[in-house]
Structure 1
Amino acid sequence: MIDADIGVVNEKRRIEEFINWDKDIIFYERFFNFEITAGTYLAKNSEGARIFLQGWAELEDKLPPSFHGKDQGALHVWMMHELASQSRLYDKCLDLWNRSKNYDDLNKFTLCCREALNTAGPNTVLVLKEGKGWCRDAWLANSHWNPEIDFMFHAWKEIYKLSYKEEDIGKLSGEEFYPWFETLQVPLKRSQCPREDVDWVHDKNLIAPLDYLQAHLDRRLQNVERSYRLLKSKLNL
């Protein structure tokens, strides 16, 4: 399943690279915060996957009157319920969710759930580490990418698409969350999408050297990890 604002940036990669046939559901960690991504996942056609997804969906009618994070927040609650209900943090995490009033509160709740999930035993849900999933937000590197590590981009909403300027070329730090640049020099027609023999013409100005791009992404990950440790300490988890 993928969000409507997700698209393929690198047609040479395949989703099969990310499949683990021993797992019913595969998620990945978001690159820029503590969340497990809810907007895209791989689900096996199995009873275990169907039960998991049905339970998650049914939380829509049980969301608390708080800043709950919608499906994103519900995913963490459901994963904790299914995989770590015996955790000493279970009740604390639910309390944080019920009292959440803003994104800062939601971050505390999310971190609490992640800590609870660290106690989970063997199960059929896989969460890929940051940077190891099939998709990342385009703005994380100002729409620059490299064919060695990238497959799909998220946050490609047409309303936020911009034309880059000369000073944007090679600049990996840009405005966060929304703006993005078209990575194709020649846009595809919809009729070409199912065909394997169509050569995509990429805009070479947005293809960054691997070492340069990886170093930039690693710095972002280090910042997230630092923030995680600091907030965990403040929460005394």
Structure 2
Amino acid sequence: MNRISKIIFRSLIFCAAVLLFLLSVSRLAIENAQRRHFRSSARYMHFENIVEIKYIWPVQRRNPRIAILMVIEPDTKMEFYEHAMSSIACYSRVWNYDFLIVNSSDFRNECTHKDKFFRRHCVAARILGAYDYILFLDADIGVVNPTRRIEEFLDVKAEVIFYDRFYNWEVMAGAYLVKNTNWSKHFLDGFANYEFRLPKSFHGTDNGALHVSVISYWCHVKRLPRSYDRFLIGVLAWGRTGKRRKPYGREVLLIEKLHHIRARATSLFQAYLAEVILGTNDAGLATCLHVYSRSRNFLDLFMYEACIRKLLGNSTYFGKIKILPKGKAWARDNWMTNSLWNPERDFMMHNWKLTQLRTYKNAPLP
């Protein structure tokens, strides 16, 4: 190789190295810009100030890049979820995961959904591009066993991972592990856009007049914000006398109706999941949707969910979707064992709202 060839060769190597460096820098800048955008809700991160700075385990660099995401509303009462969020903040700092508490109103231009239960999945799809994986959690899910890692649940054969709940046939829609792929983003957008596809009779807000009038009445009497959570908490915890008591009479009926309304959004996820797995023209799906359309209470919804699960079968893998069986996931409902947990099996607990926390009494489990 003559001198000119060597110079050209070295120049090409140098240019290639510079190009690779610029590409890596630009990619890092884009990711940092994206994350700065998500940190627009950083004012909610005051929970990190509650936990200790000293760690039992060393902080590690993340590879793959994993974030834990909670999507809240502008009127979310943060103190109701402080216990759960504080545990997630501490856990994230120990293992160097990004913990994002994002206000859905920050994405009002991209996610125009009226129902918050659909809108939050649109938000998750927008954020997913900045990470390799996102663990989406309801705001009332907290960590009880910080020795366990999210990496335990990663699966190269699955792009979205859900899990079966214990007490019924429902696939949990409020907690999932999703991989950053175009298919996953399309899947989340598809679920969010389910709100626009179904007739009003199928929606969680189908009892519109009743729903609005009931909320307005109780917000006026109890002086509560127009929020499902605080309405239910107000009715359950406080009576007309201002003293804590159990609900009665008309209140029980109203609570049951509103719980049913809220449950419908979760139930629609079961239909969407079946549609993605089985196809829109599946005859069995039409039968299950008929059961759903005529549902009036929780028993009807449980029957509908059982119908969907019967169609799906007991498999774990459904193409790019994985559904973990009961007892094999990262979270479960705390009330099933009176908030007792097993360090060999448990990782996170669901239903950690402030109003649901009680002093443990040494009583036998049912």
* Off by >6 Å, runs of 4+ in structure 1: none
Alignment of 1:1-237 (within 5 A): 1-63=136-198, 64-65=200-201, 69-85=263-279, 86-118=281-313, 122-165=318-361, 167-168=362-363, 171-173=364-366
Contact 1:89–1:116 (CA under 8 A) maintained in structure 2:
yes
Q: Distance in 2 between matches of 1:103 and 1:51?
A: 30
Q: Could you tell me whether the CA contact under 8 Å between 2:159 and 2:178 is conserved in 1?
A: yes
Q: Which has the higher contact order (CA 8 A, sep 6+)?
A: 1
The one-letter amino acid paired with 2:285 is Y
8 A Cα contact 2:166 2:327, kept in partner:
yes
Contact conserved, 2:159 with 2:181, CA < 8 A, in 1?
A: yes
Shift of 1:106: 0.6
TM-score normalized by structure 2? 0.44
Deviations 1:182-230, CA, capped at 9 Å, x for gaps: xxxxxxxxxxxxxxxxxxxxxxxxxxxxxxxxxxxxxxxxxxxxxxxxx
- Letter paired with 1:65: S
**Residue 87 of structure 1, CA deviation:** 3.7
For residue 83 of structure 1, what is the amino acid of its counterpart? I
1:122 Cα deviation (Å)? 4.9
Report the aligned-residue RMSD: 2.0
Using structure 1 for the length normalisation, give the TM-score.
0.67
Between the aligned partners of 1:149 and 1:119, the Cα distance in structure 2 is 21
Structure showing the higher helix proportion among its residues: 2
CA distance in 1, matches of 2:162, 2:275: 16
Which letter does structure 1 place at the counterpart of 2:284?
L
Instruction: Measure the CA separation in 2 of the matches of 1:57 and 1:131.
Output: 27
Aligned length in residues: 170
Seq. identity, %: 38
* Preserved CA contact (<8 Å) 1:27 1:36: yes
Q: Say if 1:90 and 1:137 are closer, same or farther in 2 by CA, change over 3 A.
A: same
Distance 1:48 1:162 in 2: 42
Q: Cα distance, 1:60 vs. partner?
A: 2.2
- What does the per-residue CA deviation read over 1:132-160, in whole Å, with 9 as the maximum and x for residues that have no partner? 11101111111111110000000000012
**Greater radius of gyration (CA):** 2
Are 2:271 and 2:285, in contact at CA under 8 Å, matched by a contact in 1?
no
Q: Structure 1 unaligned runs (5+)? A: 174-237
